[in-house]
Structure 1
Amino acid sequence: MVFRGLCVGLGEFLTFAAVILMVFANIGQLTNNIVTRNIRYVSVDASNLGNALASTNTATNDLYAANPAAPVAQGNGIRQSYQWGLYNYCAGQPSGDSRACSDKSFGFEWQPVDALLNDAPQDARNGIQNFLPEATFRDSKYLGDYSKPAMYLIFIGSCLALLSWISGLLSHRFAFLGAAFIALLAALTLGVGAALLTAIYTKARDSVGVQYGVVVHYGNALWMTWGAFVACVLAIVPYILSCCTGRSDDY
């Protein structure tokens, strides 16, 4: 009885931890409050892009926004930093109030060059596009094609983690079996989604760098997703043991 209780408690704790991690990962960049603005899947530091362009004699007049809080994607000038969540991105001060965010959408795609070009003054866009290397960072179609399904998988995995935790609360051996199966599905979807994002972020980061004045940084929400994946994987065993040692009726 004690062993069964420990298994149940461990499974519930792990799936609850996965739910909490994914709640935070999902709300990143949705608002400008002190919590959500500091949660991101990936960020792009473009603070040295102007210097890199100047070294190639590319015109950089009024490249950066005079007001970091001006609306994004309207040619108001590039921001020093861009931060992406699952459903939108924000630009400006990474941890301050002087920032603006894009519209939110389900199935949001990570396309960093498009964000830069949409902010850049009209007469600087061709110069920026020609300056950046013809590699993954500039391949908006490739990045969009992989980041969009990753976003769906992570959202589905978040919902499955919640269902697994709720199933574990039902205190029934078949509910524990269901919780284990749902935790497995949650782990698969979260793992594949996180792997897709990690892969494209890594390829984009490696294809551009200091010489181009643009640096890609992994965000804390990505590690939260990997943490939720691990928690779901670990929850499978105690839920299965709970099923094997439990009764067919409620406790």
Structure 2
Amino acid sequence: MRGEHCIAGATVLSAIAIILLVFAHIGQIGSGALVNSIHMMEVNVASLGNGYQGAKNESAGGLYDSKNDKLGGGKGLRQYYRYGLYNACAYQKDGSGICNSSTFAFPAEPFGNLLADTPSKFESKLKDLIVNVKPTPTLKDDGYNHAMTRGGSALIFCGSVLAAAALIFGIVKLRISFLIAAICSGLGAFLIMIGAALWTAVIAKDNSVNIVKVQSKASLGIIVSAGPSLYLTWVAFALITLSCAPYVIACCTYRK
């Protein structure tokens, strides 16, 4: 295969991967229609009020906020908490929501976020409920979630930059450029893989809360799930990995 054909294939694979990564990166940078459904992880607490009532045998009236007040102010829970690479947003059932300010490598701390939104009259009881149910959910381990998701987001960012660099160097018709593109794509794929694996590990560990029951045998009402951004990141990793070989072949066969 001629080097030009290899580069054409690698360029297409890299370009598709970059597009997918762009979508993964813009998830939860705001609560608008374009980005509100793109996230790495979702924590659904729409049924937590029912779980609270079943466990404590008292009304959960006032547990939820309906006005999209600022997050972390103890004004009430939102039904859906979604985490992206740079931000977290919370949404009502009608789709309206509000977001935190954007931060590089935003750490997901769902337990702390839930308690920060919980009205004071429910806070201690809800904390006691989540911490003491059996089996004990790992969702409460904010230290683990913070370190893993922040590290994963930073690695995905670095891998994305390297993937973009591979695409740029791959266009330049020089053997040294093809070599640099191969190195960038290989290293970028590795960093993206590790970053996505960290996020996957967090979600796999935290979603043990999905099956937790309260004393009344009803569900606790917290559901943790992976979002589209995570799947996009894994697909991008596969495409960037595939693009590495053509760059190497082009480097070895191109005659200029």
Given that 1:21 and 1:228 are in contact with CA atoms closer than 8 Å, whether structure 2 keeps it comes out as yes
- 2:102 and 2:244 map into 1 onto residues whose CA distance is 34
> How far apart are 1:93 and its partner, in Å?
3.6
Aligned-partner Cα distance in 2 for 1:12–1:144: 35
Instruction: Kindly indicate whether the alpha-carbon contact (under 8 Å) linking 2:175 and 2:254 is maintained by their aligned counterparts in 1.
Output: yes
1:13 matched to 2:7? The reply is: no
Q: Does 1:244 align with 2:252?
A: yes
Q: Does 1:61 align with 2:61?
A: yes
Q: Where does residue 74 of structure 2 map in the other structure? A: 75
Tell me the secondary structure at the aligned position of residue 36 of structure 2.
helix
The AA in structure 1 aligned to 2:222 is V
The count of aligned residue pairs is 245
Change (3 A) 1:58 1:154: farther
Q: Secondary structure at the match of 2:89?
A: strand
2:4 and 2:63 map into 1 onto residues whose CA distance is: 61
Equivalent-residue separation in structure 2 for 1:90 and 1:126 (angstroms): 24
Contact 1:137 1:205 in 2 (8 A): yes
Deviations 1:28-76 (A, max 9, x none): 1112332111210011110110000100126523001122x22211111
Name the structure 2 match of 1:46: 45
Matches within 5 A, 1:100-179: 100-132=98-130, 133=133, 134-179=136-181
For 1:181 and 1:85, how far apart are their aligned partners in 2? 28
CA distance in 1, matches of 2:152, 2:238: 17
Between the aligned partners of 2:23 and 2:186, the Cα distance in structure 1 is 21
- AA in 2 matched with 1:124: F
Distance 2:167 2:100 in 1: 33
Deviation at 1:94, TM superposition (A): 7.1
Aligned-partner residue type, residue 79 of structure 1: R
Structure 2: stretches of 5+ with no match in the other structure? 213-218
Q: 1:201 aligns with which of 203, 207, 215?
A: 203
Task: State which drifts further: 32-41 or 137-146.
Answer: 32-41
- Could you tell me whether the CA contact under 8 Å between 1:30 and 1:36 is conserved in 2? yes
After TM superposition, the structure 1 = structure 2 runs for residues 90-105 of structure 1, keeping only pairs within 5 Å, are 90-93=89-92, 96=95, 98-105=96-103
Superposition CA RMSD, Å: 1.6
Structure 1: state its 5+ residue gaps.
none
| 8 A contact 1:37–1:94 mirrored in 2 | no
Contact residue 38 and residue 94 of structure 1 kept, 8 A: no
Residue range with higher mean Cα deviation, 3-12 or 54-63 = 54-63
Quick one: percent identity of the two aligned structures? 33
Supply the distance in 2 between the matched residues of 1:147 and 1:9 (Cα, whole angstroms): 35
Structure 2 CA distance for partners of 1:186 and 1:95, relative to 1, 3 Å: farther
Tell whether the 8 Å contact from 2:46 to 2:80 is kept in structure 1 after alignment.
Answer: yes
State the TM-score, normalized to the length of structure 1: 0.93
